Amino acid sequence: MNPDSLLHVQRALADLVIETPSWGYGDSGTRFATFSQAGRPRDVFERVDDAAEVHRLTGSAGAVALHFPWDAVDDLDALRDHVAGHGLAVGAVNPNLFQDADYKLGSITNPDEAIREKAVQQLLDCVRVGTELGATAQSLWLADGTNYAGQDDLRQRRSRLERSLARVYEALPAEQELLLEYKLFEPAFYATDLMDWGAALLACQKLGERAKVLVDLGHHAQGVNVEQIVAVLDAEGRLGGFHFNNRKYADDDLVVGSVNPFELFLIFVELLGADRPLPRLAIDQAHNVEAKVEAMVLSVVNIQEAYAKALLVDRTALAAAQAAGDVLGGHEALIDAYKTDVRPLLAAARAELGAERDPVAALRASGYVERVVAERGAEADVVRGWGR
């Protein structure tokens, strides 16, 4: 690796900010059961502690995304101070509109006006909370949809969605964006109200410039070209960011880059080709069987590796091959960068940041996990599931 490449990656890594999700450190599971782990955090303050450890190890996880009401506290000032005291920032606030019993038939698209109003007020409260915490976005995923043809009027649901979102958008302070996350299916199996990037984009265009689309890598049909979606949204100025994870079949929420690392690399190739600042890079994962802090560290490391490889693409050679119609020449320009072993380069770059050369090994050797198990408790079992 030549010295210029090393310096280029070091500088880029110093500016890389990845939001880790508070909910990614807590209990999670499947539709059949929720599993707890020894040392799991007992409240949002301890979830922030885990996020800070991931940042200490990797040097790139300087923000934490929060989820409400899961992260609700009586004293927002104390939470803000706790986050800042760990050298972190609050990234996006994620409102929960999918667990209340009232939302069985939808939240802001529900046919019941009183329930829609309740959902809107919940979103407005999250705007207030986000403002007090210094958040930079409201990141909204809706579980709204229908399971059967004829269950509800599809056009009316769209109209309800647009009217409700307009009220929330009008309440946003200047420093916050509204990010709309789409999903092909689940839990709605006939029609999901924000079913794809096009539906999300159309809604954003009606709302205003600070309404943007959030891309979750697990929310597409099999084989969808996610990097092309990224390129289109970015070109339109509507790419709000990502919920990074990985999938094999559906919305698996696996460790970033664990199934398709080439896709992750190609996403960064598209982002860097735009020659403008990176959008929001956030992780959204459910660590069901893997150790939570270690899984989050590995995800950040995998993002760093994909980013570094994309930085090494010979853009001059790539452009020349594309202009000449050299099909394999363009492909090989990408493959050459993708096959580069960037681990030594990243180890040096992390050391420059004061982070760990090998974050996973450092975590295992640090005693952090053993310490929090002793502090928080060693109980680990299935805590709830169907019929419990």
Per-residue pLDDT of the chain (388 residues; tens, 9 = 90+): 666 777 888 889 999 999 999 999 998 887 788 888 999 999 999 999 999 999 999 999 999 999 999 999 999 999 999 999 999 999 999 999 999 999 999 999 999 999 999 999 999 999 999 999 999 999 999 999 999 999 999 999 999 999 999 999 999 999 999 999 999 999 999 999 999 999 999 999 999 999 999 999 999 999 999 999 999 999 999 999 999 999 999 999 999 999 999 999 999 999 999 988 999 999 999 888 899 999 999 999 999 999 999 999 999 999 999 999 999 999 999 999 999 999 999 999 999 999 999 999 999 999 999 999 999 988 755 555 444 4
- Give all domains of the chain, ordered by start, each with its CATH number: 3-385 (3.20.20.150)
- pLDDT value of residue 29: 80
The CA-based dihedral angle spanning residues 205, 67, 184, 169, taken in that order and rounded to the nearest 10 degrees? -20
Burial of 252 per CB tally in 10 Å (0-12, 13-18, 19+): middle
**Under a CB-based contact definition with an 8 Å cutoff, are residues 63 and 89 in contact?**
yes
Geometric angle at alpha carbon 264, from 267 and 242, rounded to 5°? 65
Cis link prior to 69 (omega < 30° from 0)? yes
**Radius of gyration of the chain from its Cα atoms, rounded to whole angstroms:** 21
- Strands 18-21 and 280-283, sheet pairing: parallel
**Under a CB-based contact definition with an 8 Å cutoff, are residues 245 and 282 in contact?**
no
**Number of helices (H) and strands (E), helices first, in the chain?**
14, 13
Secondary structure element (H or E) that encloses residue 198, with its range: helix 197-207
Geometric angle at alpha carbon 296, from 369 and 63, rounded to 5°? 105
Q: Which two tokens stand for residue 244?
A: 């990074």
